[in-house]
Every structure is written in C-alpha cells, then in structure tokens.
C-alpha cells in the first residue's frame, strides 16, 4: 500500500479507536504512526492495542510505527474541602506543603522542588492557563500569590510555571515503569514530555539504548533557550502546542513553531506538529476552516508529520478525522506553491559525506527525471539525510531491519520496505529496480536514483550514488 503524499499522519489510539476494525480502518484512511498515550489507560489496554497494530501490519505488509508517549512530570495542586473554590481578582492565595484540603485562601502544592525554584514576580498558571497567579514571595514552605486572572479552581488542576527552569526529573517513577513496559512491548519511538534541557534527553537515552528512537516534546519555554542542543540530542521533535500554548502568550506560538521547525530542518531531524489540529472533530464530523488552514500551514512549512490527539482517541469521528487530515495533506502537496515553498526552504547541506551524496541525489534525480530515489539503509541514517533534502521524487527506503523500517514511518517522503541483506552493487541495483516495480514507484524503462553506504550494512557510511534504468 503506497501513500500518495509525503507528510505523515500520527493518530492517537484510545477508547474510540481500540477495536481491530477501527485500527485497521484508521491505517487504511492514512494513519502512518499510532500514538499510545501513557497519561491514560492501563498497560493491559496498551498491550491489547499494540497486538492489534502488529496484526494489521502483518496483514497489510507495510511497517507501522508505534509511538509511546510518556506522561512526564505534570504538576498539579491538591484537593479542596468542597471540591472547588472561586478566586477573585486581586485577592491573595497561598500554595503550601500542607496536605490538608484547601479553601478559598490556600491549597496544597505537593511538589517540594517547586518552592525553591519560584521567585517573586514570576507567574503560576492554573487549569491550562485559565487562572494566573503573580508570585509575591516564597519562603520554601509557602508561595504567596496574588490573583491576576480570576475564576473557579477545582481539585487536581495542572500548574504551569512559564518563567523558571524547574529542578524536576525528566522521568517520574511512573514514567520509568511505563518506559520499561513500552520497550518490552516493542514501541518504536519514545516521546519524552516537558523536555527542558538536553540532559533530559541524555537521561532517557541512557535507559532506552538502541531499543527505540527518542522524540522530545517541546512544551516549555525553557526548552527554547537550548533548542539547538535539544534537537541535536533527539531523534525527532514534537511541537506540543497544548502546554506550550499555555506557558507562552498565544500570539508567540506560531512564530515559535516555525523557529523549531526551521531548526529541525537544519539538523535533519523529523518534526511532528501536534495538539488541537482538528479539535472540533472531537464532536463534529467536519472541521472548522481555521483548523484546516492550521494543518495546511504545517504542511506548507515542511513538517514531517501532523498529529491527532483526542480527535482519534476518544472523539466521535476518529475515522473522519484521519480521512480529513489525509485529504488536506494531499491537496496541499498538489499545489505548485507547495513545491516552491519547500524548495525555498531548502537547507544548505552540512559538510559531511552523507549530506554531499544526498544533496547530489536530489539534484541528479531532478535532472534525469527519476521517478523515485532509492535509499539502502541499515540504521535509517541514509533515508533521514535523503528526507532532509526534500527531493521531488519519493524516497523508497530499503532496509533489512524491521525496527528501522518502522521508525522511518514517521519521516517525510519515506516509503519503507524490508529486504534481505545485499552484498554487492549488482545485487543493490537489481533489488532497487524490482522493489520500485513491486511497490508501484516505477515501471519498465523509468530512471531511478540509488544511494547507499559501502561496505553494505555499516551505519552512517553513505558514500555511493548510482543511476539505473528499471527493467521488467
């Protein structure tokens, strides 16, 4: 099954998409990656859905990626004696370490590390930014604030701290348990929530090793101060606009998204744009025009993938949401302006052998009118560098590693296939031609451009470029 588009779709699984019938329908409608959200559901729920995804993968004969999204260190207040309180503008409100149920003047904040990080003049955002508190002082046991934006505050609402780098671990104890389970289950990508610094990525990678690729979710302003380092340390990036949109002023989110996207393109790291892309389709069978424009803008900007969250996990129209996203991507990519914009954003190749070869691959394929660019890869490196170039011709990736093929399902323009290990250039050309024919990327007499690394099977050794005519 070949997608008639280059950008990919990530669909979150949940109660609305737990059945074999729905998961297969979502894949056939366009989902390339399935996200398992470990903020919700049990391990048994995730295991059951994982087994279904792998059954669908075997049936359709195409690699499918599984993304395990860890909850991360989500900060929450405690409980109130009456379940909720109303805070008035200008009143004082205290957060403390006393576990006693709160009232209209105070509530417990069960995160001791926060008390040392907070300083006077900083802001606390509660309930996804609906309420804003201005910090007046913190003495290590209490944080006294003044209410700036009033409203109703209820039990266990989230707390965002936009003005500070918090000394909290990137992985909570829950995350560590979920990570061990996700790796044993067979997840291809691990998403780290609330990444603030590259050290957060290094910590996770030390636990993950080579068992999965690491995707860093950028949802805190502090991460922007070390953006280049975080991108370089990660295998992929997600612009998680939910919490990011809470902690940043809304008008800054679009520009920040573009900055992150440009940095990922420079380093050749896949980027996923997420959160509220087709939000209204949780309850409606069609999206708003603004939502369609949002998805389209992400594609025009060159994103590798766009993601559905609640729309496919617990919405009323999961299949329609995936179908709509597929239609929007395909429509954008048919627009001549899209190609003009992609070419205008083309990054200068980095001074290394892989980028030199893949840049030449893009140019040569365009000159001779190659119907596809074929990449032989063991680790996925060659296909990733080819995708960075955003060639006109689709990228047919051939690998002997199933894990590599699955991970590449997230990457722009890459159609992954599995093959036996090749041993010489003659076998490479033959396998490339036959695979291009079989997968529908070429017909007899077409030109294809091939790149690989020699010796074959050695990761990161891209050094060969070859043109070939397909024979039937």
Convert the pLDDT of each residue in 295-327 to its tens digit.
Answer: 999 999 999 999 999 999 999 999 999 999 999
In this predicted model, what pLDDT tens digit does every residue of 144-156 receive, in sequence order? 999 999 999 999 9
The fraction of the chain above a pLDDT of 90, given in percent, is: 86
- Residues 64 and 202 occupy one common structural domain: yes
- Residues 327 and 204 occupy one common structural domain: yes
Domain total of the chain:
3
Q: Is residue 257, in this structure, part of any structural domain at all?
A: yes
Of the three residues 127, 160, 193, the one that is the final residue of a domain is 160
Q: Name the residue with tokens 């859905």.
A: 49
Residues whose CB falls within 8 Å of the CB of residue 305, separated by 6 or more in sequence, listed in order: 7, 8, 9, 10, 32, 33, 270, 271, 272, 273, 410, 412
Split at pLDDT 50, 70, 90, the class of 423 is confident
Sheet containing strand 372-376, strands side by side: 414-418, 395-399, 372-376, 447-453, 462-469
Range from 68-72, 189-193, 345-349, 406-410 carrying the lowest mean pLDDT? 345-349
Q: Is residue 348, in this structure, part of any structural domain at all?
A: no
271 pLDDT above the threshold of 80? yes
Coil vs helix vs strand at 202: helix
What is the pLDDT at residue 8? 98
- Residues 130 and 57 occupy one common structural domain: no
Q: Is residue 187, in this structure, part of any structural domain at all?
A: yes
356 pLDDT above the threshold of 90? yes
What is the pLDDT at residue 135? 97
The fraction of the chain above a pLDDT of 70, given in percent, is: 99
Q: Is residue 289, in this structure, part of any structural domain at all?
A: yes
What is the pLDDT at residue 462? 85
In this predicted model, what pLDDT tens digit does every residue of 213-260 receive, in sequence order? 999 999 989 899 999 999 999 999 999 998 888 889 889 999 999 999
d(CA 304, CA 294): 15
472 pLDDT above the threshold of 90? no
- Residues 282 and 302 occupy one common structural domain: yes
339 pLDDT above the threshold of 90? yes
Split at pLDDT 50, 70, 90, the class of 64 is very high
Of the three residues 301, 334, 367, the one that is the final residue of a domain is 334
- Residues 121 and 239 occupy one common structural domain: no
Q: Is residue 341, in this structure, part of any structural domain at all?
A: no
d(CA 466, CA 472): 19
- Read off the CATH number of the domain in which 253 is found: 3.20.20.60
Two tokens, residue 336: 């001549």
- Residues 452 and 417 occupy one common structural domain: yes
Split at pLDDT 50, 70, 90, the class of 343 is very high
Two tokens, residue 77: 């207040």
Angle, helix 198-208 to helix 173-185, in steps of 10 degrees: 50
- Read off the CATH number of the domain in which 399 is found: 3.40.1380.20
- Residues 312 and 429 occupy one common structural domain: no
Q: Is residue 129, in this structure, part of any structural domain at all?
A: yes
Strand intervals (E) in 38-192? 65-69, 84-87, 92-96, 106-108, 123-126, 131-138, 142-149, 151-154, 159-160, 189-192
Secondary structure element (H or E) that encloses residue 396, with its range: strand 395-399
Sheet containing strand 159-160, strands side by side: 106-108, 92-96, 142-149, 131-138, 123-126, 159-160
- Residues 143 and 185 occupy one common structural domain: no
In this predicted model, what pLDDT tens digit does every residue of 227-236 receive, in sequence order? 999 999 999 9
pLDDT, average across residues 24-39: 97
- Read off the CATH number of the domain in which 151 is found: 2.40.33.10
Mean pLDDT score across all residues of the chain: 94
459 pLDDT above the threshold of 80? no
Residue 50: give the domain boundaries. 8-73+170-334
- Residues 402 and 321 occupy one common structural domain: no
- Residues 66 and 193 occupy one common structural domain: yes
What is the pLDDT at residue 460? 67
Two tokens, residue 167: 């000394």
| Prediction pTM value | 0.92
- Residues 312 and 248 occupy one common structural domain: yes
Residues involved in catalysis: 35, 76, 217, 275
Q: Is residue 219, in this structure, part of any structural domain at all?
A: yes
d(CA 88, CA 304): 44
116 pLDDT above the threshold of 90? no
Q: Is residue 78, in this structure, part of any structural domain at all?
A: no
Range from 166-170, 418-422, 429-433, 453-457 carrying the lowest mean pLDDT? 453-457
- Residues 186 and 260 occupy one common structural domain: yes
């Amino acid at each position: 099954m070949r997608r008639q588009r280059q950008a990919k779709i990530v669909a979150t699984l949940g109660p609305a998409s737990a059945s074999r019938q729905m998961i297969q329908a979502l894949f056939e409608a366009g989902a390339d990656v399935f996200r398992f959200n470990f903020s919700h559901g049990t391990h048994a729920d995730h295991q059951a859905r994982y087994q279904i995804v792998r059954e669908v993968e075997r049936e359709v004969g195409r690699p499918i990626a599984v993304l395990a999204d860890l909850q991360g260190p989500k900060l929450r207040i405690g409980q109130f004696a009456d379940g909720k309180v109303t805070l008035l503008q200008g009143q004082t409100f205290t957060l403390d370490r006393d576990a006693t149920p709160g009232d209209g003047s105070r509530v417990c904040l069960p995160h001791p590390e926060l008390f040392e990080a907070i300083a006077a003049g900083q802001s606390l955002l509660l309930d996804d930014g609906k309420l804003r508190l201005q910090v007046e002082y913190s003495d290590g046991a209490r944080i006294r604030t003044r209410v700036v934006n009033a409203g109703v505050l209820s039990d266990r609402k989230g707390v965002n701290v936009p003005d500070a780098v918090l000394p909290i671990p990137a992985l909570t104890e829950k995350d560590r348990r979920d990570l061990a389970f996700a790796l044993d289950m067979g997840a291809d990508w691990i998403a780290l929530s609330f990444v603030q610094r590259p050290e957060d990525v290094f910590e996770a990678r030390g636990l993950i090793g080579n068992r999965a690729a690491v995707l860093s979710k950028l949802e805190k302003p502090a991460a922007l101060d070390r953006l280049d380092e975080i991108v370089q340390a990660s295998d992929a990036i997600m612009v998680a606009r939910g919490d990011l949109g809470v902690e940043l002023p809304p008008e800054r989110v679009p520009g920040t998204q573009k900055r992150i996207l440009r940095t990922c393109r420079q380093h050749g790291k896949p980027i996923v744009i997420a959160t509220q892309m087709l939000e209204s389709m949780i309850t409606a069978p069609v999206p708003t025009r603004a939502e369609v424009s949002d998805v389209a803008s992400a594609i025009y900007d060159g994103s590798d993938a766009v993601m559905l969250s609640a729309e496919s996990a617990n919405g009323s129209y999961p299949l329609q949401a995936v179908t709509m996203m597929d239609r929007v991507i395909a429509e954008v990519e048919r627009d001549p302006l899209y190609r003009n914009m992609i070419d205008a954003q083309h990054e200068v190749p980095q001074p290394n052998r892989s980028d030199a070869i893949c840049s030449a691959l893009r140019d040569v394929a365009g000159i001779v009118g190659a119907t596809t660019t074929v990449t032989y890869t063991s680790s996925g490196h060659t296909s990733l560098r080819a995708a960075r170039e955003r060639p006109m011709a689709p990228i047919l990736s051939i690998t002997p590693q199933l894990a590599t093929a699955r991970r590449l399902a997230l990457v722009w323009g890459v159609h992954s296939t599995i093959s036996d290990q090749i041993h010489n250039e003659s076998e490479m050309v033959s396998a490339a031609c036959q695979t291009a024919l079989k997968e529908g990327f070429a017909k007899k007499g077409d030109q294809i451009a091939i790149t690989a690394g020699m010796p074959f099977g050695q990761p990161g050794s891209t050094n060969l470029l070859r043109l070939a005519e397909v024979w039937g």
